[in-house]
Amino acid sequence: MRISINNLRKSFGKKLVLKDFSVDFEEGRIYSILGKNGAGKSTLLNIICNIIPYDSGEIRYNSYKYTSLPTFIKQNIGFMSDQSSLIHELTPLQYLTLIANLYHVKEPKRRIRKLLDYFFENESIENTKINTFSTGMRKKIEFCAVLIHKPDMLILDEPFSGLDPVGAEKIIKYLSGYCTQIEGRTIIVTSHQLDHIERINPELILLNNNEIQYQGSIVNFRNTFQADLHDGLVAIYSR
Ligand SMILES: Nc1ncnc2c1ncn2[C@@H]1O[C@H](COP(=O)(O)OP(=O)(O)OP(=O)(O)O)[C@@H](O)[C@H]1O
């Protein structure tokens, strides 16, 4: 899915968060939105996912406008918010079956089994209530939920938080293959975990002082700022 944003503006009261924000998220690519705490990353993702309104500008999803977004386009977006959407009283099997049914997933049992096997391997957790899970285990269930309908647009806000290196590695591998397996897929991810971002090797979009300060590859970032990603961002965020 392609998302085109033109001159997007968003304020909370008197606080301006996004000013004249324009970007095209193209098919077949992974994008990473970077920016210091409070830069506006989650705000942007929440706007794209139709969760909060914006003040002015235009957003298009393929050829559809934000204001008249058909259900089939909305259903083709998978959003992992920084706020957990799990229902803690349910077991993973109950929760994932619910989500699979909402998205009319074909052969939901098989799909759930496949995802749980990938993320949990030999752990037998499907019938244990989510409220007994650790932070990382909950994150992996959230992953299963966001991937269950194989969306063309995958939008992930801080997907690595709480994951151990094995869990993070699984996500990196999954994301790295996701856009190349099937045409038309796009991923947008935010994270402060730069080592993981480097592994995914996305197109970077650096938000700073309400605007895009840099857009391009990690290699080009290093050349432009004469620093590695970590040191370059520390310098930019500290200005
Ligand atoms: N509902 C809200 N009401 C008022 N201000 C808000 C609201 N949501 C976000 N903000 C403000 O908008 C700005 C951007 O917040 P946002 O959560 O998008 O930042 P972020 O880049 O995702 O930060 P972090 O890296 O800490 O997750 C912050 O100054 C925040 O205080």
Tokens coding 228: 């590695």
Percent of all residues in the chain with a pLDDT value above 90, rounded to a whole number? 90
Cα first-last separation, the chain: 35
Q: What integer pLDDT is reported at residue 123 of this predicted model?
A: 86
Please classify residue 234 by burial: count the beta carbons closer than 10 Å to its beta carbon, then call 0-12 exposed, 13-18 middle and 19+ buried.
Answer: exposed
Probe target for ligand 1 pocket from 43, 48, 82, 161, with the most ligand atoms within 8 Å of CB:
43
Question: Of 184, 180, 191, which is closest to residue 230 (Cα–Cα)?
Answer: 191
pLDDT at 84 over 90: no
Q: What is the mean pLDDT of the chain?
A: 95
ipTM for the complex shown: 0.98
In angstroms, the CA 64 to CA 86 distance is 30
Tokens coding 162: 């709480």
Which atom of ligand 1 is found nearest the CA of 82?
27
Q: What integer pLDDT is reported at residue 69 of this predicted model?
A: 83
Ligand 1 centroid to Cα of residue 113, in Å, is 36
Q: What integer pLDDT is reported at residue 63 of this predicted model?
A: 85
CA angle, 105 then 108 then 109, to 5°: 175
Percent of all residues in the chain with a pLDDT value above 70, rounded to a whole number? 100
Least confident of 7-11, 33-37, 73-77, 219-223: 73-77
pLDDT digits 0-9 by tens, 22-77: 999 999 999 999 999 999 999 999 999 999 999 999 999 998 998 878 899 999 99
In angstroms, the CA 218 to CA 209 distance is 20
Query: What are the pocket residues of ligand 1 if the criterion is a CB atom closer than 6 Å to any ligand atom?
Result: 12, 15, 17, 35, 37-43
Tokens coding 234: 């520390």
Question: Of 153, 155, 94, which is closest to residue 125 (Cα–Cα)?
Answer: 94
Judge whether 214 and 202 are in contact, CB under 8 Å.
no
Q: What integer pLDDT is reported at residue 99 of this predicted model?
A: 97
Q: Whose CA is nearest to atom 27 of ligand 1?
A: 37
pLDDT digits 0-9 by tens, 126-136: 899 999 999 99
pLDDT digits 0-9 by tens, 176-215: 999 998 999 999 999 999 999 999 999 999 999 999 999 9
DSSP assignment of 83-116 equals S----TTS-HHHHHHHHHHHTT-SSHHHHHHHHH
